[in-house]
Amino acid sequence: MNGLSVSELCGLFCCPPCPSRIAAKLAFLPPEPTYAFIRDPEAGSDSGAPESGGGTSSLRARASPPTPSPETRWRLHLTERAEFQYSQRELDTVEVSFAQSSRGNKIGCMYIRCVPNSRFTVLFSHGNAVDLGQMSSFYLGLGTRINCNVFSYDYSGYGVSGGKPTEKDLYADIDAAWHALRTRYGVSPESIILYGQSIGTVPTVDLASRYECAAVVLHSPLTSGMRVAFPDTKKTYCFDAFPNIEKVSKITSPVLVIHGTEDEVIDFSHGLTLFELCPKAVEPLWVEGAGHNDIELYSQYLERLRRFIGHELA
């Protein structure tokens, strides 16, 4: 779509879409869960039943899991849909748990100790239509290659996380993950790198605009929901969803923006705009010829991350 027609403009101003509808249309496609959390019998649990819908029904998968006691310990179980199964050595590096969001949802979290005594931990907010089970092998490889541990979480309604995905829940979900990383694992803000990919840049920007951290990585970011749907949008309307463009200038940490020049989902111009608005933006990575889902396949991707984390932040 190249611009807004008269009928579209009339529709927007006479019957403006609510942010949740824009959000649902543009962003939220939870996959069938590819993993489960199983109570660890070695931790004294009275049940080995999994907490997930990786089994029988999507309805059960979306149900909020019961409140775990402080003593409850969980193990990760990947289903065949995850497409990747851990060796025992890799499994030993993965710790899973629940965090409680301010909106009442239990949020599934995953902490991967990729590198002993690593200086930084990446708090990763993943893209759409994937869950922790599908992302886990990528996290293992990424953390090992950039010398960081990785902490990630599933949005409300994704994987084992309870509730339904909404914009407000995105912000509450990352808050819960941030506080879990800070309190449960004792990671200080100056050791946390916030990393958001695609829709994951929305909670990442929101959190980074409120908390200072070691650094921020925005991978294929969007400026706002309206600007994705209607590229000629010049201002942020009250009913716009995901208004990164209004928050990114408040980020006081160093920001690395990564975007493919041939992105077919979120146009390259979104990355350019956000880069220009970041007060402490570092040299960006514009990957020539890359689309929305293949930037990681280009050698420049790891090279730029290594230089940013290993040298520029040091």
Q: Active-site residue numbers? A: 198, 263, 292
Contact 96, 77 (CB under 8 A): no
Dihedral angle at the C-alpha atoms of 161, 108, 293, 271, nearest 10 degrees?
90
Report the amino acid identity of residue 23: A
d(CA 160, CA 139): 18
DSSP state string for the chain: --S--HHHHHHHHHSPPPHHHHHHHHT--PPPP-EEEEE-GGGT-S---EESSSSS-HHHHHSPPPPPPTT--EEEEE-GGG-----HHHHTTEEEEEEE-TTS-EEEEEEE--STT-S-EEEEE--TT--HHHHHHHHHHHHHHHT-EEEEEPPTTSTT--S---HHHHHHHHHHHHHHHHHTS---GGGEEEEEEGGGHHHHHHHHTTS--SEEEEES--S-HHHHHSTT--S--TT-S--HHHHGGG--S-EEEEEETT-SSS-HHHHHHHHHH-TTB---EEETT--SS-GGGSHHHHHHHHHIIIII--
The structure tokens listed for 94 are: 């993965």
| DSSP, res 86 | -
Q: Which helix (H) or strand (E) holds 89?
A: helix 88-91
